[in-house]
């Protein structure tokens, strides 16, 4: 039984000395940033931060070992999180408080919660001071690749990556093989998640059979089987008529229609954003209008049908502007963006590295600013990763031939927290965009710490500075554009249904 050492590879050269009380200090800190972090925190780093992360599946958590080897079927342990900053946007709650989890549900939240001694006996108390305790994060746009491309990712590895990144629910896109366009595939995904998943999986069905853009799938059956939304993500619904019908028909089942907004003729042959860098590199460009033409169409059709459309992975200034305008008129639209669209620009492609190739492409600095403004004013409701694992077979080739997509589950949280440090979002807004907003857009009940609800909960250290190491990720794939980047903020623990899905905390 190997202990999986995660997140510490960068710091192998350092030595820790354990203090009597548990905390440890650096003896030789060669990484200056880490040292600086330490000083701001009074000279010591809490011990928990420096432990290798522990995967429950591998049975490393001592007292859980005897009674469970699977997170979904694990025994219930009750938890009391003491003194954390509890940020629960759904209930407009942001203060230092204690959270009691009993029998898998949120039993109580209150400052200085009084728990009787005998009650406390069966409860694991976790000191969360200096940490954030939030509803479990919800990623409404991931590609888990199973069924069909298990060499890139599986439901098991993808959900493990999700939990390690602080996510307790992920919505998986239907462009698998076979396509998730019928109940049988949706049911397979749910069954597999129940067996092997580290977090909740919310299947998203296809809009059209086989993603061919020709005929609607059976939304009713998909909904019944457990699909939370429909989309042809990976490609647009090119027929305006089919998109209109999808938005109308979805109303019967109150199922969300997610649009991958891309005009294929404008984007044809494109490798990266159309701009100065594409001209410099001699690469065919994808203009902003390739996205915006379709966003405009979808907004018009949402208005026409009084339907509800969700625009996936918004990357351009024009899209933000049109969505903002449509929202102001009451059009039924919500939208998401991804961390790479507010963090990286098309200038990253200067060395032709396919790890920066994705669809929509990384845009200009002006687009980054517009996306941030859209997040700040609520035009963009959610932050989703568009986690798109690819192996070296698809990625380590000439840039024109390389597949689109980046992984994001294990890098998203620090980048979202970066928006808080920049002053773009308040902590409450940041957590909302990564939990309660996507939950309510999808119509699922997670994303809230309301008493009596299943305890999907994430503990976050907003201060911890470290270097993202894609080689230490739980995801099967390594196509992370942030590899080697110094970031701040990390998920320490994720509870799903009151059970530990992932933990880096010393307990």
Partner 1 sequence: MRRTKKDLLGVRELEVEEIEHILKLAASLKEINTRPIKKVPTLRGKTVVHLFYEPSTRTRTSFDVAAKRLSADTYSIAASSSSLVKGETFLDTLKNLEAMSPDVFVIRHPVSGAPQRLARRTSVSVVNAGDGMHEHPSQALLDLLTISERKGGFKDLTVAIIGDIYHSRVARSDIWALTKMGARVLACGPPTLIPPHLEGLGVRVYWRLEDVIPQADVLIVLRLQKERQQQMLLPSLREYSICYGLNRRRMELARDDAIVMHPGPMNRGVEISPDVADGPHSLILDQVANGVAVRMAILYMVAQG
**Contact residues: partner 1, CB under 8 A:** 274-276, 278-285, 351-352, 396-401
CB-nearer residue toward Zn ion: 135 or 481: 481
Q: How far is the CB of 268 from Zn ion (least distance, A)?
A: 17
DSSP letters, 381-429, are: -EE---B----HHHHSS-TTTSPP-B--TTTHHHHHHHHHHHTSS-HHH
Q: How far is the CB of 264 from Zn ion (least distance, A)?
A: 12
- Closest by Cα among 45, 18, 42, 13 to 29: 13
Question: Which span sits near Zn ion by CB under 5 A: 79-87, 181-189, 259-267, 336-344?
Answer: 259-267
The sheet that has 256-259: what strands, in order across it?
A: 137-142, 167-172, 200-205, 229-231, 256-259, 309-311, 333-337, 382-383
Cis status of the peptide bond prior to 178, with omega within 30 of 0: yes
Residue nearest Zn ion (C-beta atom) = 260
Which one of the listed residues 139, 232, 367, 386 is annotated catalytic? 386
Tokens of 427: 């902590």
Selection from Zn ion, partner 1, none that 181 binds (CB < 5 to 8 A by kind) is none
Question: Residue 292 binds which entry of Zn ion, partner 1, none, with Cβ cut-offs from 5 to 8 Å by kind?
Answer: none
Most distant CA pair in the chain: distance in Å? 71
Euclidean distance between the first and final Cα of the chain, in Å?
19
- The reply to whether 357 sits near Zn ion by the rule CB under 5 A is no
Q: Residue 156 or 274: which CB sits closer to partner 1?
A: 274
Residue 194 or 284: the one with the smaller Cβ distance to partner 1 is 284
Q: Which of 37/270 has CB closer to Zn ion?
A: 270
Q: Based on CB atoms, which residue is closest to partner 1, 286 or 460?
A: 286
Binding residues for Zn ion, rule CB under 5 A, total 2
Q: Is 98 a catalytic residue?
A: no
Closest CA to 353 of 472, 482, 466: 482
Minimum CB distance to Zn ion smaller for 380 or for 464: 380
Indicate which of Zn ion, partner 1, none lies near residue 260 (CB less than 5 to 8 Å, by partner kind): Zn ion
Binding partner selected for residue 282 from partner 1, Zn ion, none, CB under the kind-specific 5 to 8 Å limit:
partner 1
SS3 per residue for 243-291: HHHHHHHHHHHCCEEEECCCCHHHHCCCCEECCHHHHHHCCCEECHHHH
151 binds, among Zn ion, partner 1, none (CB under 5 to 8 A by kind): none
Stretch that binds Zn ion, among 216-224, 225-233, 369-377, 461-469 (CB under 5 A): 225-233
Apex CA 372: angle with CA 456 and CA 444, to 5°?
Answer: 25
Closest by CA position to 206, among listed 230, 170, 236, 184: 230
Residues in the chain: 507
Separation of alpha carbons 461 and 198, rounded Å: 21
Q: Is 233 in the site for Zn ion (CB under 5 A)?
A: yes
Do 298 and 322 meet the contact criterion of CB atoms below 8 Å apart? no
Around 348, how many Cα atoms within 13 Å sit in the side-chain half-sphere? 22
Q: Which does 280 bind (CB under 5 to 8 A by kind): Zn ion, partner 1, none?
A: partner 1
Q: Tell me how far, at minimum, the Cβ of 126 lies from Zn ion, in Å.
A: 38
Q: How far is the CB of 196 from partner 1 (least distance, A)?
A: 30
Give min distance, CB of 412 to Zn ion, in A.
Answer: 16
- From the list partner 1, Zn ion, none, pick the one residue 233 interacts with, judged by a Cβ distance below 5 to 8 Å according to partner type: Zn ion
| Smaller CB separation from partner 1, 151 or 276 | 276
Task: Say how far apart CA 232 and CA 242 lie, in whole Å.
Answer: 11
336 sits near Zn ion (criterion: CB under 5 A): no
Among 260, 310, 340, 357, indicate the residue that binds Zn ion (CB under 5 A).
260
The closest alpha carbon to 187, from 205, 169, 163, 213, belongs to 205
Contact positions vs Zn ion (CB under 5 A): 233, 260
Residues classed as catalytic: 386
């Amino acid at each position: 039984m190997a202990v999986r050492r995660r997140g510490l590879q960068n710091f192998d050269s350092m030595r820790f000395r354990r203090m009597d009380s548990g905390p440890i200090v650096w003896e030789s800190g060669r990484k200056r940033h880490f040292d600086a972090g330490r000083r701001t925190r009074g000279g010591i780093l809490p011990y928990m931060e420096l432990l290798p992360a522990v995967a429950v599946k591998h049975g490393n958590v001592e007292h859980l070992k005897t009674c469970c080897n699977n997170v979904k079927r694990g025994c219930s342990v009750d938890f009391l999180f003491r003194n954390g900053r509890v940020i629960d946007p759904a209930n407009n709650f942001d203060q230092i408080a204690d959270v009691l989890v009993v029998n898998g549900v949120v039993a109580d939240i209150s400052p200085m919660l009084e728990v009787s001694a005998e009650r406390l006996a069966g409860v694991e108390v976790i000191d969360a001071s200096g940490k954030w305790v939030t509803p479990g994060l919800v990623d409404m746009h991931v590609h888990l690749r199973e069924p069909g491309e298990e060499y890139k990712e599986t439901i098991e590895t993808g959900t493990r990556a999700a939990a390690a990144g602080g996510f307790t629910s992920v919505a998986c896109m239907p462009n698998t093989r076979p396509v998730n366009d019928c109940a049988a595939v949706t049911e397979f995904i749910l069954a597999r998640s129940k067996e092997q998943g580290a977090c909740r999986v919310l299947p998203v069905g296809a809009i059209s059979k086989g993603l061919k853009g020709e005929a609607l799938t059976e939304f009713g059956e998909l909904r019944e089987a457990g699909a939370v939304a429909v989309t042809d993500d990976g490609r647009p619904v090119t027929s305006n008529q089919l998109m209109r019908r999808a938005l109308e028909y979805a109303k019967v089942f109150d199922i969300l229609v997610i649009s991958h907004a891309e005009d294929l003729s404008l984007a044809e042959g494109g490798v990266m954003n159309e701009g100065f860098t594409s001209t410099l590199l001699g690469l065919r460009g994808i203009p902003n209008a390739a996205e915006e033409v379709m966003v405009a169409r979808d907004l018009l059709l949402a208005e026409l049908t009084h339907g509800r459309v969700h625009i996936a992975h918004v990357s351009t200034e024009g899209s933000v502007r049109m969505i903002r305008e449509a929202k102001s008129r009451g059009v039924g639209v919500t939208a998401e963006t991804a961390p790479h669209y507010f963090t990286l620009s098309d200038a990253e492609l200067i060395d032709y590295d396919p790890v920066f190739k994705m669809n929509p492409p990384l845009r200009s600095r002006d687009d980054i600013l517009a996306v941030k403004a859209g997040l700040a004013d609520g035009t963009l409701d959610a932050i989703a990763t568009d986690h798109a694992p690819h192996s070296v077979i698809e990625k380590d080739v000439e840039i024109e031939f390389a597949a689109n997509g980046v992984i994001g589950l294990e890098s998203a949280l620090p980048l979202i927290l970066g928006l808080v440090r920049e002053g773009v979002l308040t902590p409450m807004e940041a957590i909302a965009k990564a939990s309660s907003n996507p939950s309510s857009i999808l119509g699922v009940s997670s994303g809230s710490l309301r008493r009596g609800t299943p305890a999907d909960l994430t503990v976050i250290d907003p201060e911890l500075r470290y270097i993202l190491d894609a080689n230490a990720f739980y995801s099967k794939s390594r196509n992370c554009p942030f590899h080697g980047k110094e970031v701040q903020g990390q998920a320490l623990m994720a509870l799903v249904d009151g059970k530990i899905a992932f933990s880096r905390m010393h307990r």
